[in-house]
Amino acid sequence: MSSATEKLYLLISESVRDGSFRKAVFSKPVEKCSDGPSRIDVRPVSVKGRVQLQVTRRIGAQECHENIDAKEGVALMHRFSGLMFRDVHFGTSAAEWTARHSRKGKCTLTKRETTGTPSESDTSHNRNRQYLIPDGEACPFLVATGIMSADGRVRAKHYAKFRQINRYVEFIRDVADHLPRDGAIDIVDFGCGKSYLTFATHHFFRHVAGRDVRITGLDRRRDVVDTCNTVVRDLGLDDIQFCVGDIADFKPVGQVHLAISLHACDTATDDALSAAIAWGTDVILAVPCCQHELSSHLPKDGLPLFSDHGILHEKFSSLATDAIRANLLECAGYETRVMEFIDMEHTAKNLLIRAIRRISGDTATTVGSREQMQAFCRQLSIPPLRLQQKLEEYGLL
Ligand SMILES: C[S@@+](CC[C@H](N)C(=O)[O-])C[C@H]1O[C@@H](n2cnc3c(N)ncnc32)[C@H](O)[C@@H]1O
């Protein structure tokens, strides 16, 4: 073994031991064969509070992932370096290393510091590193959807979408502690559409959090469902499926832990919320879209100042609908927050209703909330809206 290869091995094993290891990428296989990996990525992941190494092998267009303990991971990386792959890029919290192995086995090791006064490009690199899905590391669904090039660089024209996806993934990360800690997490994405965010949810749980998932994306449009299932097949994913159907008719196979409904039209959001509450879903994330129900019930002269201006009337109706939804979720036993969501380009609706099931209900608060909501509806002279009707029908209020 050359001294550079030996040094590389020591650097990798020490960084894994002291926790400074960030990633290693092995490319340029020594022997090219179609059924062998063309690239292997290794990164630390936390699994049930323990640090493990996630090894991702890319074979053709598919990727397979394996979480292994640190000692085994270090031994594998030792085998990958030089013996199986000529190029190794390896990063710690302090430096980036590149090792290149010639055909004769000579290893050249170079180092680039990432601490000290950062240059402009280093600053942007560090900023990128804070993304849960980083720029510069090929993420299969972003490559498949054209947001990233095959080598993991985000295409300039898709940068805004890339940032939005990352922001969304942060919302998912923030609720992860309220989901079961063991076993697979069951997720339904209602009105998934083209499913960038469904794939982002899958990526977060599988590759960032190192958790097993079973995801169902539901949409009434066959064309989008077919397209999403093609991506699933191309990426070789067996824990995500897309089905055609209406939210109001969907019946899950088992317990659902996380229900997502992003920009589903009008009262489809209420169908998603009522279904998720009825199943006792742990966490619900909903971004409502184009509410018309309350607006259609408001008496013409019911809102004097607002009704003189169509846009104000519409915005008031949307906000009042979301306030009622949030209140009903509270009444049904969910800790609820309404937060600013990301501005996706196809819609200006950017309020996220985040509801986390309470472990034990606070009856006093629940009764108080319901009375407040009923008084609000009386003020507006509107009948119970769809979500309330459904929850009453299911005996959940
Ligand atoms: C604006 S897209 C949003 C897609 C995705 N959730 C996102 O936020 O990027 C809304 C999707 O919801 C679907 N949808 C609306 N109402 C639905 C219903 N009642 N049942 C199933 N899908 C529905 C539409 O077909 C459409 O694909």
In a domain, 101, yes or no: yes
The tens digit of pLDDT for each residue in 176-214 reads 999 999 999 999 999 999 999 999 999 999 998 999 999
Residue position matching structure tokens 């209020």: 397
d(CA 351, CA 261): 12
pLDDT of 23 > 50? The answer is yes
pLDDT band for position 364 (cuts 50, 70, 90): low
Which range of residues forms the domain containing residue 85?
3-116
Q: 93 or 69: whose pLDDT is higher?
A: 69
Q: Are residues 111 and 180 in the same domain?
A: no
What is the reported pLDDT for 278?
97
In a domain, 292, yes or no: yes
In a domain, 125, yes or no: no
Q: Are residues 91 and 210 in the same domain?
A: no
Q: Are residues 221 and 298 in the same domain?
A: yes
Instruction: State how many domains the chain has.
Output: 2
CA-to-CA dists, residue 247 to 54, 56, 85, 357, angstroms:
35, 35, 48, 21
Lining ligand 1 with CB less than 6 A are 191-193, 196-197, 218-221, 224, 246-247, 262-265, 268, 346
The tens digit of pLDDT for each residue in 45-67 reads 777 667 789 898 888 777 788 88
Q: Whose CA is nearest to atom 20 of ligand 1?
A: 246
Q: Are residues 230 and 303 in the same domain?
A: yes
Which CATH number belongs to the domain containing residue 319 in this structure? Answer: 3.40.50.150
Q: Are residues 196 and 327 in the same domain?
A: yes
Q: 95 or 269: whose pLDDT is higher?
A: 269
Q: Are residues 76 and 216 in the same domain?
A: no
Q: Are residues 67 and 211 in the same domain?
A: no
Q: Are residues 96 and 201 in the same domain?
A: no
Q: Which of 27-41, 275-289, 340-354, 373-387 has the lowest mean pLDDT?
A: 340-354
Neighbours of 202 (CB within 10 A): 23
Tell me how far the alpha carbon of residue 104 lies from the centroid of ligand 1, in angstroms: 56
What is the reported pLDDT for 308?
81
In a domain, 197, yes or no: yes
